[in-house]
Structure 1
């Protein structure tokens, strides 16, 4: 087990980075960050744009390491810019593709299958700044399927590898 911190959570009802990056993000709330989120097995985050969408079941939740944010490009870079859902400090989540992990914020573990990397796109150069897409290659977080119901909230949490790569966490 590893002690981590959930720094930010983002639940967005709208897909804001659609179309051409040169057109800029679509309108929406200025801040979609929340203090807690309900996770539903096989469906995603309640209220999020990918919740219960069959095409996104294997990528319904995106987790990113805070240590990988390109703060040298934009010191204020966060989930509003990367459009990931969960920002963790204390674990290199990008190294767990293929694993099953759990995150326990004190209300019981929430289990995720870590399916694939979340590859950065050209939008990162628009929302964060020039060079962000390149800086986030191999460090853009991971796309996951929730395997259990539960709650994730801001603050300290326990990260554990349940099965697969990196079992020693």
Structure 2
């Protein structure tokens, strides 16, 4: 992450079920060990929160030749800038919550249907990271994102 500026949360999206569209919200509550209350992955073993960078979406849009809307990637949190850590075990403090990297969030081929042909390839290595929630709390738009 860019050490000169602290990244912030610029978008939050949740979906109540796997096939339902993502909806934008101003804030969410995370439960430790469970994830975002009201999201489709709440209560799963490790996939509690997904995080992507707006800078990476801009890079993907450049490769694709068209916009890559944050909600269509199906990630929960979009941060303003910087590279989202991918190494398992790295921790981020986002708002009140403490998150730990589980794995890279691989883009699926369905993105070609929702965003446009070539979206899956454009998002490869830019699709964000899957985290587990170590400490719960509130995350809201504008919250700082810091490595711990």
TM-score interval, normalised by the smaller of the two chains: 0.7 to 0.9
Report deviation, 1:7. 1.3
Structure 2 partner of 1:68: 56
Question: How big is the alpha-carbon RMSD for the aligned residues of Structure 1 and Structure 2?
Answer: 1.8
Structure 1 partner of 2:114: 127
Larger Rg: 1
- CA deviation vs aligned residue, 1:77-106 (integer Å, no higher than 9, x gap): 2232100000001221044543011113xx
Contact preservation (8 Å) 2:97, 2:134: yes
State the SS of the aligned residue for 1:126.
helix
Q: 1:51 to 1:95 in 2, by over 3 A?
A: closer
Contact preservation (8 Å) 2:49, 2:130: yes
Residue 161 (str. 1) matches residue 129 (str. 2) = no
State the SS of the aligned residue for 2:135.
coil
Q: Which runs of 5+ in 2 are unaligned?
A: none
Q: 1:33 to 1:116 in 2, by over 3 A?
A: same
State the SS of the aligned residue for 1:67.
helix
State the distance in 2 between where 1:36 and 1:96 align.
Answer: 26
Q: 1:94 to 1:135 in 2, by over 3 A?
A: farther
Q: After the TM superposition, which parts of structure 1 deviate over 6 Å for at least 4 consecutive aligned residues?
A: none
State the SS of the aligned residue for 2:46.
helix
TM-score with structure 1 setting the length: 0.76
Structure 2 partner of 1:52: 43
State the SS of the aligned residue for 1:59.
coil
State the SS of the aligned residue for 1:125.
helix
Counterpart among 70, 81, 84 of residue 90 in structure 1: 81
State the distance in 2 between where 1:115 and 1:49 align.
Answer: 18
State the SS of the aligned residue for 1:10.
strand
State the distance in 2 between where 1:62 and 1:125 align.
Answer: 19
